[in-house]
Amino acid sequence: MINLLVPAFKLISGYPMWFVPLCLLFGAGVALLLYFKNTSDDFSKPLVAALTALRFVAVSIIAFLLLSPMIRTLSRTVEKPAVIIGVDNSRSMILGADSLFVSDRLPGMLTEASEELKDKFDVYNYTFGRQITSGDALKHDYKEEMSDISAFLSEVNARFYNRNVGAVVLVTDGIFNAGQDPLYVSRDAGYPVYTVKTGDTTVKRDLIIQKINYNRTAFKGNRFPIEVVVHAREAGRMSSVLKITSGNEEIFSEKLDFTSDNQVKTVSMVTEAEETGIKKYRISLEPIEDEVNTANNVREIFIEIKEGKQRVAIVGNAPHPDLAALERAISSGNHFEADLFYLDNFKINPSDYNLLVLHQIPSLTGTSGELNTLLNDHRIPVLFILGSQSDLISFNKLKTGLSLLDQGKTGNESLPLLNNEFTLFVIPERISALLQTVPPLISPFARYQYPGQVQVLAYQGIGSLKSDMPLILFNQVADTRYGIIAGEGIWKWRIHDYALNFKHSAFDELMGKIMQYLAADTDRNRLKLTWRNSYAENESIEFNAILLNESGEIITDPEIELVITGEDNSSYDFSFSVLNDGYYLNAGNLPPGIYSFSAVAKTGTGDLKREGSFTVTALNLEDINTVANHRLLNALATRTGGEALMPEETGKLAALLIGRDDAKPVIYSKKHFTDLVSYGPLLGLILLLLTLEWFLRRYHGSY
């Protein structure tokens, strides 16, 4: 881009230009009045003439400045057309038959074309794959694990919006495995796209593990499925063997016979989760004769085997529709299984259950002394559901965080009003929408008292009024969590969900979230660490940490160190950085595999330690499809008015672009206005004239 300042300028003013002679007359009048009417015998005639001239010029300029004059100048910017060269940096670029040409000769040919274009064009070089990188030189190592052509075109549209784009040169094999269809994105292109078509369009013999369907988590003792989709190309009348291994053990094997040259087979198997932890499963296809690419014959997946479902004991004072609704909602998910008891036959081993749901217990009609002892001795998390048969005096003695005093004989019809400041878990929009339309619960009529640390999920809405009485709340006493639903009739909510949505998913999800919070292990460790259980190999491994002192206050003074250990016992040492009121660590990218870690915070009262594990999974996107898509590149060039070239024709690129009639420089004109009142040199000239006049008068003995 070249900026040209046009020398022509124009003097403009807010007053008519015939005021300028008046300024000169005013300057002349002041000078004559001073030096010819009040003559001095001490001054010679040449000196008087010089002083008169100085005063005339100074006063005339000052009078002229009172007219608010400005100078308008015109600048012109010449913008050469831009040529944007984008090179696909993904691994599939060097998997074709022309891989040697692409890696060795093509970069040099593109560099030569860039040099030839620089006289007429502004040349911009980019590489793209998972991300887009710009640079002065075309540098590519073809190591990206994915290719997103649409992201590159969108980036060009955004960066060069309203710019003079002459052409875009796209060097790729046309294989994209991320983002939108490039043809769809190119509809917004106001420039021609020239494509350099690399890769091989010939379909060669290849077996591909195209997709694996599986659940990332399973429970110990349960059986879970793995489904493998195999794509066979040019493999008619040939056979292979699909194997699945875990560690050194082969858990599945099946012979696959292919009857056509383009065939997709889906193989399903079911295996049992025997041990907890993260397990690696290797899925492999035996290579067939003359197979061109065996890298896509092997995939690895990671499945986290958790302990069996958590058990929930639902205990009712008497038969009630709420009990069936709760049992079905709790058992509908993958994390809990529910057993239903009544108070008269309630016999359990506390170690067999992770959570109790007590419906109108303590009760006015039943004996719950044994249950109260169980709660006090074993500190089991409990969800209380209060109703007309609840013994509120006995309930208050349990010190759950809620006390109901001065109980009345009737109940309130209470609608749930969500508390927007509730933070224990996220309430999705579908649950929020359900709670806005559900029928009311029958809540005990009493005076509700609760301390400030209680977390209220929903308040009671009495008619059209919002009260400060909680309907659903949670509290933690020492290491035990309590939940309370202060109303019976929750079965109506589940039926209402089905009436609205033809399914019970919103209600069941609400109960699942309540169960998960209450049954979760209460973390008493003052070092709180958060991370993800699974990362892709192109994602950064990130950790966040919060450190508390013994008073529960957040501190950031101690250092936190973390050691990550791989399957091969290789270790990586890191230190957390302080970020706001917590700590943050970006460990970068790691190769696929299973990793464990140990974080240690060195505090003044001893070391705090947290351990965990995560997996890094391979993308393998570039191995799934290695057949170049030249049809896409031809369509892209035709739609935008460009041209599709083979790699060996790259030398013609510069001549084609230079020969385009529509790739011309654009000249932008811009007017600049300079206010002479604030123009420094002019003010300096006035001061110089007045100072010189004063100096001459003083030098010759006058004031």
The pLDDT value recorded for residue 675 is 79
The pLDDT value recorded for residue 531 is 87
pLDDT tens readout for residues 179-227? 888 888 888 788 899 999 888 888 888 898 888 888 887 877 778 889 9
**Residue in the structure block whose two tokens are 């209060």:** 386
**Runs of H (alpha helix) within 484-619:** 491-501, 505-519
Domains of the chain: 2-76+672-699 (no CATH), 81-199+627-664 (3.40.50.410), 206-306 (2.60.40.10), 310-519 (3.40.50.880), 527-617 (2.60.40.2550)
Rg from Cα positions in the chain:
41
Q: How far is CA 644 from the centre of its chain?
A: 36
Confidence grade of residue 524 (pLDDT, cut at 50, 70, 90): low
Tell me how far CA of residue 498 lies from CA of 43, 329, 424, 491, 508, in angstroms: 111, 12, 27, 11, 11
Helix (H) or strand (E) holding 624: helix 621-624
The pLDDT value recorded for residue 427 is 87
Euclidean distance between CA atoms 182 and 632, whole angstroms: 8
pLDDT tens readout for residues 90-118? 888 887 777 788 888 888 888 888 888 88
The pLDDT value recorded for residue 41 is 57
Q: Are 583 and 556 in contact (CB under 8 A)?
A: yes
Q: Is the pLDDT of residue 523 over 90?
A: no
Tell me if the bond preceding 681 is cis, omega within 30° of 0: no
Confidence grade of residue 536 (pLDDT, cut at 50, 70, 90): confident
Higher pLDDT, 333 or 297: 297
pLDDT tens readout for residues 222-267? 788 899 999 998 888 999 999 999 888 899 999 999 999 889 999 9
Among the listed residues 241, 230, 303, the one whose alpha carbon sits nearest the alpha carbon of residue 267: 230
Confidence grade of residue 135 (pLDDT, cut at 50, 70, 90): low
Q: Is the pLDDT of residue 5 over 50?
A: no
The pLDDT value recorded for residue 415 is 95
The length of the chain is 703
pLDDT tens readout for residues 605-636? 778 899 888 988 887 776 677 788 888 899 98
**Runs of H (alpha helix) within 355-483:** 369-378, 392-397, 429-435
Q: Is the pLDDT of residue 6 over 60?
A: no
Confidence grade of residue 364 (pLDDT, cut at 50, 70, 90): confident
* Residues β-bridged to residue 79: 666
The pLDDT value recorded for residue 472 is 96
Query: Once rounded to an integer, what is the mean pLDDT over residues 391-414?
Result: 89
Look at strands 132-135 and 165-172 and give their pairing: unpaired
The pLDDT value recorded for residue 564 is 95
pLDDT tens readout for residues 259-301? 998 899 999 999 888 888 888 899 999 999 988 888 888 888 8
Tell me how far CA of residue 397 lies from CA of 215, 299, 637, in angstroms: 45, 58, 79
Confidence grade of residue 419 (pLDDT, cut at 50, 70, 90): very high
The pLDDT value recorded for residue 137 is 47
Higher pLDDT, 468 or 372: 468
Query: Once rounded to an integer, what is the mean pLDDT over residues 408-434?
Result: 89
Look at strands 165-172 and 193-197 and give their pairing: parallel
**Residue in the structure block whose two tokens are 């009121």:** 581
Query: Once rounded to an integer, what is the mean pLDDT over residues 370-377?
Result: 69
